[in-house]
Amino acid sequence: MAKYSLKRERGMRARESAPTYESLPPYEPIPIPPVYHVTVSDRGRLVLPANIREKLKIQDGDPISLTLEDDGRVTLQTREVAIRRMRGMFKHLATPGVRASDRLIAERRRQARMEDREFRERTALHRRMKREPLKRR
């Protein structure tokens, strides 16, 4: 927006001053990922180009995760990337410094102690009930 200032010494005249702008950062083009064209064979097979296999370190027989998105995109991931992504999805549930396996083992040991206590109580009750009828005779 233009700024106006009044200078009184020359009379009542309004003058416009141009706003100052910061210099723009140098233009950097956005990197566009390469597009590869593959053909589907009659049995539904895709052949990945060699440079993709080399970049992703995919060998013959390696498992690959294929995901079909809602918008029609298909995502290919190596097994390691898919596992890392799944771990990241549940990372917020983890407590730092505590392993889920340690918590699970501790919980199972608590349950085993409770089951042992209940078993001992039931066994003791059963023994008492067996003895009582004999004493009454």
Please tell me the predicted confidence (pLDDT) of residue 97.
Answer: 85
* pLDDT of 13: 63
Within the chain, which residues score under 70 in pLDDT? 1-15, 133-137
SS3 label, residue 67: strand
Joined together, the tokens standing for residue 30 give 């956005």
Q: What is the pLDDT of residue 8?
A: 60
pLDDT at residue number 71: 93
Q: What's residue 7's pLDDT?
A: 58
Question: What is the model's pLDDT at position 135?
Answer: 58
- 124 Rama class: left (phi>0) / alpha (psi -120 to 50) / beta: alpha
Query: In sequence order, what DSSP letters do the residues of 68-130 get, joined into one string?
Result: E-TTS-EEEEEHHHHHHHHHHHTGGGPPTT--HHHHHHHHHHHHHHHHHHHHHHHHHHHHHHH
Look-up: residue for tokens 């027989």?
A: 61
DSSP 8-class letter at 46: B
**Looking at the whole model, is its pTM more than 0.85?**
no
CA distances from 89 to 53, 82, 85 (A): 26, 11, 6
Type of residue found at 91: K
Is 65 in contact with 76 (CB distance < 8 Å)? Answer: yes
Residue-wise pLDDT tens digits, 63-73: 888 889 999 99
